[in-house]
């Protein structure tokens, strides 16, 4: 990244601009790993460089909106500019039942957290990777399910951040009503 200290007056200049890397939008993003029992949450730093674990939210069958309300409150507390939800595709790239449930959850979340946009990002193998990383760090994944969910959310969000930096575009696909482009009149 930046070698040495920044020149005076450059405090707000993103050092990646000077190095030719893709530039990401500034602002905190909230990453969400949706599970049937728990939802893992992660957040980025305001520069959009690094994802860190935030919380694991239980999904309560008796109050089906409690987890959504907690995510909305977390997004507001962090002043998130975007919520990134993992989309668990099959290895083939096809979408199964888990992806259908994640899409439905993301759609419900997008209505609750509006006007903050919600985006779906491919999360193939993040839970497997989260277990592997925890095992390599000396933590038993099965006994630390909350940590696994947060780690999976970190991996989802970090993938989105890295993808945005590489492409210069917002990650994944937006959930909810799409804005239509205004029609341009034919000048011919």
Domains of the chain are 25-175 (3.30.420.140)
For position 9, what pLDDT does the model report?
A: 36
* pLDDT tens digits for range 82-123: 999 999 988 777 888 989 999 999 999 999 999 999 999 998
- Rounded to the nearest angstrom, the gap between the alpha carbon of residue 185 and the centroid of all alpha carbons in its chain is 38
Q: Residue 146 — very low, low, confident or very high, per pLDDT cuts 50/70/90?
A: low
Residue written as token pair 């933590």: 139
For position 126, what pLDDT does the model report?
A: 59
Task: Give the integer Cα–Cα distance in Å for 65 and 79.
Answer: 21
* pLDDT tens digits for range 42-82: 999 999 999 999 999 999 878 878 999 999 999 999 999 99
20 bridge partner residues: none
For position 13, what pLDDT does the model report?
A: 38
pTM of the model: 0.75
Q: Residue 17 — very low, low, confident or very high, per pLDDT cuts 50/70/90?
A: very low
Task: Give the integer Cα–Cα distance in Å for 188 and 59.
Answer: 57
Max Cα separation, the chain?
A: 68
Q: What is the dihedral of CA 104, 106, 107, 108, to 10 degrees?
A: 90
For position 187, what pLDDT does the model report?
A: 52
Task: Give the integer Cα–Cα distance in Å for 19 and 4.
Answer: 14
- Rounded to the nearest angstrom, the gap between the alpha carbon of residue 88 and the centroid of all alpha carbons in its chain is 13
């Amino acid at each position: 990244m930046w070698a040495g200290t920044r020149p005076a007056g450059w405090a707000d200049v993103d050092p990646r601009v000077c190095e030719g890397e893709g530039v990401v939008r500034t602002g905190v993003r909230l990453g969400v790993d949706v599970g049937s029992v728990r939802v893992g949450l992660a957040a980025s730093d305001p520069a959009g460089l690094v994802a860190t674990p935030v919380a694991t939210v239980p999904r309560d069958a008796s109050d089906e909106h409690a987890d959504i309300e907690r995510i909305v409150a977390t997004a507001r507390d962090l002043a998130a500019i975007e919520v990134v939800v993992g989309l668990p595709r099959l290895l083939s790239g096809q979408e199964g039942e888990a992806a259908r449930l994640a899409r439905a959850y993301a759609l419900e979340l997008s209505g609750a957290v509006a006007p903050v946009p919600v985006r779906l990002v491919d999360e193939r193998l993040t839970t497997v990777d989260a277990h592997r990383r925890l095992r390599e760090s000396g933590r038993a994944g099965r006994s630390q399910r909350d940590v696994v969910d947060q780690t999976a959310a970190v991996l989802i969000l970090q993938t989105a951040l890295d993808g945005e930096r590489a492409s210069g575009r917002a990650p994944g696909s937006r959930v909810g009503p799409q804005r239509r482009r205004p029609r341009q009149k034919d000048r011919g």
